[in-house]
Amino acid sequence: MEHQAGVVMHGRMDPSLMATHVFTGFDRLEEALLLMKKKPGDLIKPVVLVEQ
């Protein structure tokens, strides 16, 4: 996971190509984690965007 995060952080991969569900803000983190737990058929990768 750390290697993949580094690849994304350095702009060598566009994670939006894998994201099927996008959540904005830490307040939506629990929703994203519950979605991963349920694993619906249309889920590939949820992404949580956090503004810095």
Residue 8 resides in a domain: no
Q: What are the tens digits of pLDDT across the range 1-52? A: 788 888 888 989 887 787 888 899 989 999 998 988 888 888 888 888 887 6
Residue 11 resides in a domain: no
Residue 38 resides in a domain: yes
* Number of domains composing the chain: 1
Write down the residue that tokens 């995060």 correspond to. Answer: 5
> What range defines the domain where residue 34 resides?
16-52
Pairwise CA distance, residues 39 & 25, whole Å = 21
Give Dmax (Cα) for the chain.
32
Residue 45 resides in a domain: yes
Residue 51 resides in a domain: yes
Q: What are the tens digits of pLDDT across the range 1-10? A: 788 888 888 9
